[in-house]
Structure 1
Amino acid sequence: MKPSHHQHYAIKDTTRSPQAHWLAHLLSGNYKLPGLEGKRGALFANAVLEKYIEEEEKYDNFELTSGSNRSLRTLSSGEQKKALLSYLLQQNPDFIVLNNPYETLDKASVSELKQQLIALSKDMPIVLIFNRQDDVLPVITHIITFEKAELRAVVPIEDYTFQKSAFVFDKDIPSAITTYTNIPEVLVELKNVNVTYEDRSILKDINWTIKKKEFWHLIGPNGSGKTTLLSMIYGNNSKAYGQDLYLFGKKKGSGESVWDIKQKIGYISPAMLELFKRSYTIEHMILSGFFDSIGLYQTPSTAQIHTAAQWIDVLNLSKEKNTSFLKVSPAVQRLILIARAMIKHPPLLILDEPLINVDDDGRALISALINKIANESETSILFVAHRDEANINPDFIYELHPSPQGSVGIQK
């Protein structure tokens, strides 16, 4: 590969580099960076994509997909990002800022986008805002560092040291004070489950059994049906009815309420963060797990308060227990949501993309807590991610492989 004559920059996305302070200045060429000064940049980010999706829905403005008769909403994450990149490049920017470009993409799409960006680096400077060291492109020449939200230094990449977290949770998980009765050995069983939406086959002949105290990793590319599978187990997906799907020993749709099922399952997903918009303290967030409520409206018992304090201690947050949940980092928010979901020691814990949008340190923290729960509790874990996660140590992997007849499942 012929070396590019451009300088390419990377910026670690942390609370010390808040984008609100500098991103607009960078895009308008107001930073003294070689190759970018006085130049005009384009921004490639999920937030930009969301804005175009909203435009389509509100104003029927199909700017990104003109000529294809498709709306952005109907495209896969990979196709959406391709459409955005192509549209931005048509505007002839002088350089491009990539804000965590691989979030929400599966392995194959990440690899394809990386190749595209490496090729693009020959034509224009790139500024990459990244969470994970793995995401830093091989063409990057300099790392930009920040101090108190201000640009501090531009360091040649060969002189920059990536910090590695070696965090360990050293306190035991509190024991359960909530008891569940009549929980069978097999928690979830799917027998030859098929799902079709309109004319499209999503899942084909899915056979999968999750037993007590098992740790599963569900993987598969975007659009392979992971969300559909989860919504059949945890949600109120009508496609689950009439299928051979058994939850906690009862066939789904045989009389139990969704509420009965949800009481036995701890659940977290990135979308849950949208529910907690008010300023609850860390202590109240964790206590609310006893009542499955958004906020704390019942008076907890002394035993519940004591258990929440023990969980807060496990997370090393005792000094911050009265801090607002909204003021802590995304990684710490995930730790709190996991503790909230686990406080009753439910038979099954579903972790839907708990590592999305967090940096390497956050990933190490969250993975350490998940592995600890797997080792120290009786709870079965169903962990979902679209990428392989090196720090997660599941007992089993269930992988969805797309096919024209619907995704098939392979157990590893």
Structure 2
Amino acid sequence: MSDVLELVDVSVVRDGRALVDDVSWSVKEGERWVILGPNGAGKTTLLNIASSYLFPTKGTVSVLGERLGGVGTDVFDLRPRIGIAGVALAEKLPRRQTVLQTVLTAAYGMTATWNENYDKVDEDRARAFLDRLGMTEYLDRKFGTLSEGERKRTLIARAMMTDPELLLLDEPAAGLDLGGREDLVRRLGRLARDPYAPSMIMVTHHVEEIAPGFTHVLMIRQGKVLAAGPMETELTSRNLSLCFGLPLVVEHQGERYTARGLPLG
């Protein structure tokens, strides 16, 4: 399998502080990765590098076979091959735009409609992705009136519009109640198990948000990678305890994970 993403000795330094520190990591075609770690660990920084919107201070990054900063690499050609769903994007989308328009505009790399003439093929694709994520009855709803869960599902549908080769999900379950989280995890699981779906990287703080079908985990703390590899060997109580800085127990039941802290002595 070819590398979808490859980082070699990558650091990102801001104001003298390393946001990520000497990270080497590769994602291969068809893999579904979770980036797990506490607040400020460097998770979103890694995702921003993978999206080609952030270049490293040191080291080399290749995304979909294109080296960032390399001769002949045009990030404006590269970025449509990457689907992104996260809070930063949601804040740029017009609240008065309908759900269908919000997804459709991704076909042109836009955040808002601007006299585009969308093909029936584009509309059919947008409707199909929204249907897959349970949003068919919301097509004409204004984006700004959606619940947090509905908004997250709309963003994922939007991220799929360009047939991306790499799908990046930045804390997709953040802010959801229990029902909303479980509904989203169920739908992400169906996407992750689809053999035709793109390679995926999801950032989260919580092992409970890891959907069935995700294959690998990277744990990061204070910018350094503590563990990276197949979920079944790396998502352990020891590794999670080191990652979050307190004693934790990981339990694997069926296709889901849970974590709990040990009682105070």
Residue 395 of structure 1 aligns with an amino acid whose one-letter code is T
Q: Does 1:271 align with 2:91?
A: no
Structure-1 residue corresponding to 2:193: 375
Where 1:361 maps in the other structure, the secondary structure is: helix
Q: Among residues 111, 122, 130, which one is paired with 1:304 in the alignment? A: 122
1:234 positional shift: 1.4
Q: 2:42·2:221 contact (CA, 8 Å) conserved in 1?
A: no
* Aligned-partner residue type, residue 131 of structure 2: D
Contact 2:10 2:56 in 1 (8 A): no
Is contact 2:129–2:160 with CA below 8 Å preserved after alignment?
no
Residue among 295, 298, 309 paired with 2:112: 295
Mapped partners of 1:250, 1:317: distance in 2: 34
Paired letter, 2:68:
K
Instruction: Give the structure 2 partner of residue 258 of structure 1.
Output: 75
Match of 2:49 in 1: 232
Structure label with greater radius of gyration: 1
Residues 1:185 and 2:12 are matched in the alignment: no
Structure 1 residue 338 displacement after superposition: 0.2
**Which aligned runs of 4 or more in structure 1 are off by greater than 3 angstroms?**
none
8 Å Cα contact 2:127-2:136 kept in structure 1: yes
Shift of 1:199: 3.0
**TM-score after normalising by structure 1:** 0.51
- TM-fit CA distance, 1:345: 2.3
Deviation of 1:235 (Å): 4.1
Could you report, residue by residue, the CA deviation over 1:242-283 in whole angstroms, capped at 9, with x for unpaired residues?
522111112210132332221111001112221123311111
User: In the superposition, relative to structure 1, how do residues 409 and 280 fare at CA in structure 2: closer, same or farther (>3 Å)?
Assistant: same
Secondary structure at the counterpart of residue 8 of structure 2: strand
Match of 2:39 among 214, 218, 222: 222
Give the secondary-structure state (helix, strand or coil) at the position aligned to 2:91.
helix
SS, match of residue 19 in structure 2: strand
**Equivalent residues in 2 for 1:79-118 (5 A)?**
none
Which residue of the partner structure matches residue 340 of structure 1?
A: 158
Amino acid of the structure 2 residue aligned with 1:346: P
Bigger RCO (CA 8 Å, 6+ sep): 2
Distance of 1:313 and 1:202 partners within structure 2 = 38
* 1:357-376 alignment, distance < 5 Å: 357-376=175-194
- Aligned 8 A contact 1:352 1:385 in 2: yes
Instruction: For 1:397, give the aligned amino acid.
Output: V
CA root-mean-square deviation: 2.0
What are the residue-to-residue correspondences of 1:5-404 with 2, within 5 Å? Answer: 185-239=2-56, 243-254=59-70, 255-297=72-114, 298-376=116-194, 377-393=196-212, 394-402=214-222
Give CA deviations for 1:186-232 in whole Å, capped at 9, x if unaligned: 11001122333343233333121111111100011112211222222
Quick check: 1:212–1:378 contact (8 Å CA) kept in 2? no
**What letter matches 1:389 in structure 2?**
E
3-state SS, counterpart of residue 243 of structure 1: strand
Kept in 2: contact 1:206–1:409 (CA 8 A) = no
Instruction: Describe the shift of the 1:311–1:201 C-alpha distance in structure 2 as closer, same or farther (beyond 3 A).
Output: closer
- Relative to structure 1, is the Cα distance of residues 226 and 318 closer, same or farther in structure 2, using a 3 angstrom cutoff? closer
1:239 is paired with a residue of what secondary structure? coil
- SS of 2:217's partner is strand
Identity rate of aligned residues, in percent?
Answer: 27
User: Is the contact made by 2:36 and 2:43 (CA closer than 8 Å) also made in structure 1?
Assistant: yes
The Cα of 1:320 is off from its aligned counterpart by 2.8
Query: Normalising to structure 2: TM-score of the pair?
Result: 0.78
Structure 2: how far apart are the matches of 1:390 and 1:317?
A: 20
How far did 1:292 drift?
1.9
Corresponding residue for residue 98 of structure 1: none
Total equivalences in the alignment: 225
